[in-house]
Chains A and B, each alone.
Chain A
Amino acid sequence: MTEHPDITQLSAHLDNELSSADMAQTSSHLLSCPICQRQYRDLRELSQDMHQLPMLESGLDLPMLLRQLPERQPVARRQRGRRALSGTAAAASLLLGLFIGTALHSSVDIREPSFAALAILDNTPPGALCRQPELCYLQRSPR
Protein backbone atom coordinates (compact mmCIF):
# COMPACT_ATOMS: atom_id res chain seq x y z
CA MET A 1 0.00 0.00 0.00
CA THR A 2 1.30 3.46 -0.85
CA GLU A 3 1.79 6.15 1.78
CA HIS A 4 -1.45 7.75 2.99
CA PRO A 5 -2.27 11.00 1.20
CA ASP A 6 -2.74 13.85 3.65
CA ILE A 7 -6.06 15.62 4.13
CA THR A 8 -4.99 18.39 1.74
CA GLN A 9 -4.54 15.85 -1.02
CA LEU A 10 -7.88 14.22 -0.28
CA SER A 11 -9.62 17.57 -0.18
CA ALA A 12 -8.11 18.61 -3.52
CA HIS A 13 -9.01 15.20 -4.98
CA LEU A 14 -12.62 15.79 -3.99
CA ASP A 15 -12.49 19.10 -5.86
CA ASN A 16 -10.81 17.53 -8.88
CA GLU A 17 -7.95 19.98 -8.45
CA LEU A 18 -4.99 17.58 -8.48
CA SER A 19 -2.73 16.88 -11.43
CA SER A 20 -3.76 13.81 -13.40
CA ALA A 21 -0.85 11.82 -11.97
CA ASP A 22 -1.75 12.76 -8.38
CA MET A 23 -5.42 12.09 -9.07
CA ALA A 24 -4.60 8.59 -10.30
CA GLN A 25 -2.27 7.87 -7.39
CA THR A 26 -4.75 9.10 -4.78
CA SER A 27 -7.64 7.25 -6.42
CA SER A 28 -5.61 4.07 -6.46
CA HIS A 29 -4.77 4.48 -2.78
CA LEU A 30 -8.37 5.19 -1.86
CA LEU A 31 -9.49 1.92 -3.42
CA SER A 32 -7.43 -0.08 -0.98
CA CYS A 33 -7.29 2.02 2.21
CA PRO A 34 -10.31 1.99 4.56
CA ILE A 35 -8.84 4.77 6.74
CA CYS A 36 -8.56 7.20 3.85
CA GLN A 37 -11.91 6.04 2.50
CA ARG A 38 -13.52 7.14 5.73
CA GLN A 39 -11.82 10.52 5.68
CA TYR A 40 -12.82 10.97 2.08
CA ARG A 41 -16.42 10.01 2.81
CA ASP A 42 -16.56 12.61 5.61
CA LEU A 43 -15.26 15.29 3.26
CA ARG A 44 -17.77 14.33 0.59
CA GLU A 45 -20.67 14.35 3.04
CA LEU A 46 -19.67 17.77 4.31
CA SER A 47 -19.61 19.00 0.74
CA GLN A 48 -23.07 17.55 0.08
CA ASP A 49 -24.41 19.16 3.26
CA MET A 50 -22.96 22.53 2.32
CA HIS A 51 -24.72 22.37 -1.03
CA GLN A 52 -28.02 22.14 0.81
CA LEU A 53 -27.56 25.44 2.59
CA PRO A 54 -30.27 27.71 1.27
CA MET A 55 -29.77 30.96 -0.56
CA LEU A 56 -30.84 33.70 1.84
CA GLU A 57 -33.38 36.38 1.00
CA SER A 58 -31.78 39.78 1.03
CA GLY A 59 -34.82 42.04 1.25
CA LEU A 60 -32.88 44.63 -0.72
CA ASP A 61 -34.88 47.73 -1.66
CA LEU A 62 -34.13 47.75 -5.36
CA PRO A 63 -35.82 51.06 -6.34
CA MET A 64 -33.96 52.83 -3.55
CA LEU A 65 -30.68 51.24 -4.58
CA LEU A 66 -31.16 52.35 -8.18
CA ARG A 67 -31.87 55.90 -6.98
CA GLN A 68 -28.63 55.84 -4.98
CA LEU A 69 -26.47 54.84 -7.93
CA PRO A 70 -24.04 57.67 -8.66
CA GLU A 71 -23.84 59.26 -12.08
CA ARG A 72 -21.12 57.98 -14.31
CA GLN A 73 -20.02 58.79 -17.80
CA PRO A 74 -21.47 56.41 -20.40
CA VAL A 75 -18.87 53.93 -21.51
CA ALA A 76 -19.26 54.77 -25.22
CA ARG A 77 -18.23 58.39 -24.68
CA ARG A 78 -15.36 57.28 -22.45
CA GLN A 79 -14.11 54.93 -25.14
CA ARG A 80 -14.37 57.61 -27.83
CA GLY A 81 -12.45 59.99 -25.59
CA ARG A 82 -9.85 57.33 -24.89
CA ARG A 83 -9.50 56.58 -28.61
CA ALA A 84 -9.07 60.28 -29.44
CA LEU A 85 -6.46 60.59 -26.70
CA SER A 86 -4.57 57.58 -28.07
CA GLY A 87 -4.60 59.08 -31.59
CA THR A 88 -3.29 62.42 -30.36
CA ALA A 89 -0.54 60.69 -28.42
CA ALA A 90 0.49 58.65 -31.46
CA ALA A 91 0.62 61.76 -33.67
CA ALA A 92 2.67 63.62 -31.07
CA SER A 93 5.11 60.71 -30.82
CA LEU A 94 5.51 60.67 -34.61
CA LEU A 95 6.15 64.41 -34.81
CA LEU A 96 8.64 64.25 -31.96
CA GLY A 97 10.47 61.41 -33.71
CA LEU A 98 10.66 63.38 -36.96
CA PHE A 99 11.90 66.46 -35.13
CA ILE A 100 14.63 64.57 -33.30
CA GLY A 101 15.65 62.73 -36.46
CA THR A 102 15.94 65.99 -38.44
CA ALA A 103 17.89 67.71 -35.70
CA LEU A 104 20.36 64.83 -35.46
CA HIS A 105 20.87 64.73 -39.22
CA SER A 106 21.56 68.44 -39.55
CA SER A 107 23.93 68.69 -36.58
CA VAL A 108 26.36 65.92 -37.57
CA ASP A 109 28.93 66.93 -40.21
CA ILE A 110 29.48 63.91 -42.35
CA ARG A 111 32.10 64.45 -45.04
CA GLU A 112 32.89 61.73 -47.44
CA PRO A 113 36.65 61.40 -48.02
CA SER A 114 37.81 62.15 -51.52
CA PHE A 115 38.66 59.28 -53.81
CA ALA A 116 42.27 60.41 -54.03
CA ALA A 117 42.82 60.04 -50.30
CA LEU A 118 41.35 56.56 -50.27
CA ALA A 119 43.39 55.41 -53.21
CA ILE A 120 46.56 55.29 -51.12
CA LEU A 121 45.02 52.48 -49.12
CA ASP A 122 44.39 50.50 -52.25
CA ASN A 123 45.90 47.01 -52.32
CA THR A 124 47.81 47.53 -55.52
CA PRO A 125 50.50 44.84 -55.71
CA PRO A 126 54.18 45.91 -55.88
CA GLY A 127 55.32 46.69 -59.35
CA ALA A 128 51.89 47.42 -60.64
CA LEU A 129 51.02 50.65 -62.29
CA CYS A 130 50.17 53.40 -59.96
CA ARG A 131 46.55 54.32 -60.27
CA GLN A 132 47.10 57.79 -58.83
CA PRO A 133 50.50 59.06 -60.04
CA GLU A 134 50.19 62.28 -58.14
CA LEU A 135 50.27 60.29 -54.92
CA CYS A 136 52.88 57.70 -55.92
CA TYR A 137 55.56 60.03 -57.31
CA LEU A 138 56.97 63.11 -55.76
CA GLN A 139 56.44 66.21 -57.69
CA ARG A 140 58.46 69.35 -57.63
CA SER A 141 56.60 72.21 -56.34
CA PRO A 142 56.59 75.18 -58.69
CA ARG A 143 58.88 77.94 -57.67
Chain B
Amino acid sequence: MQTTDGELIRRARAGDRQAFGELVQLHQGRVFSFVRRLCGNPDNALDLTQETFIKAWQALPGWRPDARFTTWLLRIARNTAIDALRRARHEPDPLPEDYLLTDPGPTPSRQLQNSRDIAQLEALLARLPLAQREVLLLRELEGFSYQEMASALDISEGTVKSRLARARTAVLQARRDTTGESDD
Protein backbone atom coordinates (compact mmCIF):
# COMPACT_ATOMS: atom_id res chain seq x y z
CA MET B 1 0.00 0.00 0.00
CA GLN B 2 2.73 2.38 1.06
CA THR B 3 4.88 1.41 -1.93
CA THR B 4 1.93 1.80 -4.26
CA ASP B 5 1.18 5.15 -2.70
CA GLY B 6 4.79 6.21 -3.13
CA GLU B 7 4.87 5.40 -6.83
CA LEU B 8 1.46 6.97 -7.43
CA ILE B 9 2.47 10.09 -5.52
CA ARG B 10 5.67 10.39 -7.53
CA ARG B 11 3.75 10.19 -10.81
CA ALA B 12 0.97 12.49 -9.60
CA ARG B 13 3.51 15.09 -8.49
CA ALA B 14 4.90 15.04 -12.00
CA GLY B 15 1.42 15.86 -13.32
CA ASP B 16 0.02 12.39 -14.05
CA ARG B 17 -3.73 12.77 -13.55
CA GLN B 18 -4.37 9.06 -13.92
CA ALA B 19 -2.05 8.33 -11.00
CA PHE B 20 -3.76 11.02 -8.98
CA GLY B 21 -7.10 9.41 -9.80
CA GLU B 22 -5.83 6.13 -8.35
CA LEU B 23 -4.75 7.97 -5.21
CA VAL B 24 -8.23 9.46 -4.95
CA GLN B 25 -9.77 6.01 -5.25
CA LEU B 26 -7.52 4.69 -2.51
CA HIS B 27 -8.20 7.51 -0.05
CA GLN B 28 -11.63 8.90 -0.86
CA GLY B 29 -13.47 6.69 1.66
CA ARG B 30 -11.18 7.75 4.48
CA VAL B 31 -11.37 11.44 3.59
CA PHE B 32 -15.14 11.35 3.12
CA SER B 33 -15.73 9.47 6.40
CA PHE B 34 -13.59 11.92 8.32
CA VAL B 35 -15.20 15.00 6.80
CA ARG B 36 -18.69 13.53 7.07
CA ARG B 37 -18.26 12.87 10.78
CA LEU B 38 -16.63 16.23 11.30
CA CYS B 39 -19.22 18.38 9.59
CA GLY B 40 -22.31 16.22 9.88
CA ASN B 41 -23.94 16.87 6.53
CA PRO B 42 -23.44 14.19 3.83
CA ASP B 43 -23.99 16.57 0.90
CA ASN B 44 -21.50 19.07 2.29
CA ALA B 45 -19.13 16.22 3.02
CA LEU B 46 -19.12 15.17 -0.62
CA ASP B 47 -18.37 18.71 -1.79
CA LEU B 48 -15.67 19.06 0.84
CA THR B 49 -14.11 15.75 -0.14
CA GLN B 50 -13.94 16.92 -3.73
CA GLU B 51 -12.48 20.27 -2.66
CA THR B 52 -9.91 18.45 -0.52
CA PHE B 53 -8.64 16.44 -3.47
CA ILE B 54 -8.47 19.47 -5.74
CA LYS B 55 -6.41 21.29 -3.10
CA ALA B 56 -4.26 18.19 -2.66
CA TRP B 57 -3.61 18.08 -6.42
CA GLN B 58 -2.45 21.69 -6.37
CA ALA B 59 -0.32 21.26 -3.26
CA LEU B 60 1.15 17.88 -4.18
CA PRO B 61 4.43 19.23 -5.63
CA GLY B 62 5.15 20.66 -2.17
CA TRP B 63 4.46 17.39 -0.34
CA ARG B 64 7.52 15.92 1.40
CA PRO B 65 7.81 12.27 2.39
CA ASP B 66 8.74 13.19 5.97
CA ALA B 67 5.00 13.23 6.72
CA ARG B 68 2.65 10.34 5.98
CA PHE B 69 0.57 11.03 2.89
CA THR B 70 -2.61 10.24 4.84
CA THR B 71 -1.65 12.69 7.58
CA TRP B 72 -1.02 15.38 4.99
CA LEU B 73 -4.26 14.63 3.14
CA LEU B 74 -6.41 14.60 6.28
CA ARG B 75 -4.87 17.86 7.38
CA ILE B 76 -6.06 19.42 4.12
CA ALA B 77 -9.49 17.79 4.63
CA ARG B 78 -9.72 19.08 8.17
CA ASN B 79 -8.78 22.64 7.22
CA THR B 80 -11.21 22.57 4.32
CA ALA B 81 -14.04 21.38 6.57
CA ILE B 82 -13.24 23.90 9.31
CA ASP B 83 -13.14 26.74 6.77
CA ALA B 84 -16.51 25.65 5.40
CA LEU B 85 -18.04 25.48 8.88
CA ARG B 86 -16.70 28.94 9.67
CA ARG B 87 -18.12 30.29 6.41
CA ALA B 88 -21.49 28.77 7.19
CA ARG B 89 -21.11 29.84 10.84
CA HIS B 90 -22.85 26.88 12.26
CA GLU B 91 -22.01 23.82 14.22
CA PRO B 92 -22.57 20.42 12.63
CA ASP B 93 -26.08 19.26 11.89
CA PRO B 94 -28.19 18.09 14.83
CA LEU B 95 -28.53 14.53 15.99
CA PRO B 96 -31.02 12.12 14.58
CA GLU B 97 -33.94 11.69 16.96
CA ASP B 98 -33.43 7.98 17.56
CA TYR B 99 -30.10 8.14 19.36
CA LEU B 100 -31.71 7.41 22.75
CA LEU B 101 -31.29 3.68 22.71
CA THR B 102 -30.72 1.04 25.32
CA ASP B 103 -27.22 -0.11 26.00
CA PRO B 104 -26.70 -3.82 25.26
CA GLY B 105 -24.04 -3.90 27.99
CA PRO B 106 -20.52 -5.24 27.71
CA THR B 107 -20.10 -8.69 26.26
CA PRO B 108 -17.06 -11.01 26.39
CA SER B 109 -16.14 -10.14 22.81
CA ARG B 110 -17.07 -6.49 22.73
CA GLN B 111 -18.98 -5.99 19.50
CA LEU B 112 -21.38 -3.31 18.50
CA GLN B 113 -24.48 -5.38 18.05
CA ASN B 114 -26.08 -3.80 15.03
CA SER B 115 -26.55 -0.70 12.99
CA ARG B 116 -28.53 0.92 15.83
CA ASP B 117 -25.51 0.69 18.13
CA ILE B 118 -23.35 2.22 15.45
CA ALA B 119 -25.91 4.95 14.91
CA GLN B 120 -25.93 5.62 18.64
CA LEU B 121 -22.17 6.00 18.77
CA GLU B 122 -22.21 8.20 15.65
CA ALA B 123 -24.83 10.36 17.34
CA LEU B 124 -22.82 10.67 20.53
CA LEU B 125 -19.80 11.68 18.50
CA ALA B 126 -21.83 14.29 16.68
CA ARG B 127 -22.72 15.90 20.01
CA LEU B 128 -19.10 16.56 20.87
CA PRO B 129 -17.64 20.02 20.37
CA LEU B 130 -15.77 20.16 17.07
CA ALA B 131 -12.32 20.42 18.66
CA GLN B 132 -12.88 17.29 20.74
CA ARG B 133 -14.50 15.37 17.91
CA GLU B 134 -11.63 15.89 15.52
CA VAL B 135 -8.98 14.58 17.94
CA LEU B 136 -11.10 11.55 18.76
CA LEU B 137 -11.65 10.75 15.08
CA LEU B 138 -8.01 11.24 14.18
CA ARG B 139 -6.86 9.06 17.05
CA GLU B 140 -9.38 6.24 16.95
CA LEU B 141 -10.21 5.97 13.27
CA GLU B 142 -7.02 7.20 11.64
CA GLY B 143 -4.51 6.04 14.23
CA PHE B 144 -2.69 9.36 14.42
CA SER B 145 -0.02 9.67 17.11
CA TYR B 146 -0.21 12.64 19.46
CA GLN B 147 2.67 14.21 17.56
CA GLU B 148 0.89 13.81 14.22
CA MET B 149 -2.29 15.31 15.66
CA ALA B 150 -0.39 18.22 17.15
CA SER B 151 1.18 18.88 13.77
CA ALA B 152 -2.07 18.50 11.82
CA LEU B 153 -4.06 20.71 14.17
CA ASP B 154 -1.34 23.25 15.04
CA ILE B 155 -1.65 22.64 18.76
CA SER B 156 0.73 21.28 21.39
CA GLU B 157 0.94 17.60 22.27
CA GLY B 158 -0.18 18.50 25.78
CA THR B 159 -3.34 20.04 24.35
CA VAL B 160 -3.92 16.93 22.24
CA LYS B 161 -3.57 14.77 25.32
CA SER B 162 -6.00 16.73 27.46
CA ARG B 163 -8.47 17.37 24.64
CA LEU B 164 -8.59 13.68 23.77
CA ALA B 165 -9.20 12.73 27.39
CA ARG B 166 -12.04 15.27 27.61
CA ALA B 167 -13.56 13.93 24.40
CA ARG B 168 -13.51 10.35 25.67
CA THR B 169 -14.92 11.37 29.03
CA ALA B 170 -17.72 13.30 27.32
CA VAL B 171 -18.72 10.36 25.11
CA LEU B 172 -18.64 7.96 28.03
CA GLN B 173 -20.71 10.31 30.16
CA ALA B 174 -23.22 10.84 27.35
CA ARG B 175 -23.49 7.08 27.01
CA ARG B 176 -24.15 6.69 30.71
CA ASP B 177 -26.76 9.44 30.56
CA THR B 178 -28.40 7.62 27.66
CA THR B 179 -28.51 4.27 29.39
CA GLY B 180 -29.09 5.55 32.90
CA GLU B 181 -25.95 3.74 34.04
CA SER B 182 -24.13 5.20 37.05
CA ASP B 183 -20.44 5.99 36.78
CA ASP B 184 -19.60 5.08 40.38
User: Chain A interface (Cβ within 8 Å of chain B)?
Assistant: 6-8, 10-12, 15, 17, 42-43, 45-60, 62, 65-66, 68-70, 72-76, 78
Specify which chain B residues have a CB less than 8 angstroms from the CB of A17 in the assembled complex: 145-146, 161
* B positions within 8 Å CB-CB of A: 13-15, 17, 20-21, 24-25, 28-33, 36, 45-46, 49-50, 53-54, 57-58, 61, 106, 110-112, 117-118, 121-122, 136, 139-141, 145-146, 161-162, 164-165, 168-169, 171-172, 175
Q: A49–B121 Cα gap in the complex (Å)?
A: 8
Q: Which residue of A lies closest to B122 (CB)?
A: A53
State which of B21, B61, B111, B162 has its C-beta within 8 Å of the C-beta of A72. B61
Whether the pair B112, A8 counts as a contact (CB closer than 8 A) is no
**Contacting pair B49 A48 (CB below 8 A):** no
Query: What are 11 A-B contacts with C-beta separation under 8 Å?
Result: A8-B165, A15-B164, A50-B140, A50-B141, A53-B118, A58-B45, A65-B21, A65-B50, A65-B53, A70-B57, A78-B61
Chain B residues with Cβ below 8 Å from A51 are 140-141
A86 vs B169: C-alpha distance in the bound complex, in angstroms?
A: 53
Chain A contact residues: over half helix, strand or loop, or mixed?
A: helix
**Given that A46-B171, A49-B121, A65-B53 are known contacts, is A56 also in contact with B17, CB under 8 Å in the complex?**
no
Contacts of B175 in A (CB 8 A): 46
Given A15-B139, A50-B140; A7-B169 close (CB under 8 Å)? yes
Contacts of A55 in B (CB 8 A): 29-30, 33
Inter-chain contacts of A54 with B (CB < 8 A) = 33, 118
Q: In the complex, are the beta carbons of B161 and A8 less than 8 A apart?
A: yes
Which chain B residues border A62 with CB–CB below 8 Å?
21, 24-25, 28
Is A52 in contact with B112, judged by CB distance below 8 angstroms?
yes
Residues of B within 8 A of A70 (CB): 54, 57-58
Residues of A contacting B110 in the complex (Cβ-Cβ under 8 angstroms): 45, 48-49
With beta carbons under 8 angstroms apart, the residue of B21, B46, B140, B162 that contacts A66 is B21
How far is it, in angstroms, between the C-alpha of A3 and the C-alpha of B106 when the chains are bound? 28
The interface residues of chain A lying within 8 Å CB-to-CB of B122 are 53
Task: Kindly name the residue among A10, A17, A59 whose own CB sees the greatest number of chain B CB atoms within 10 A.
Answer: A17
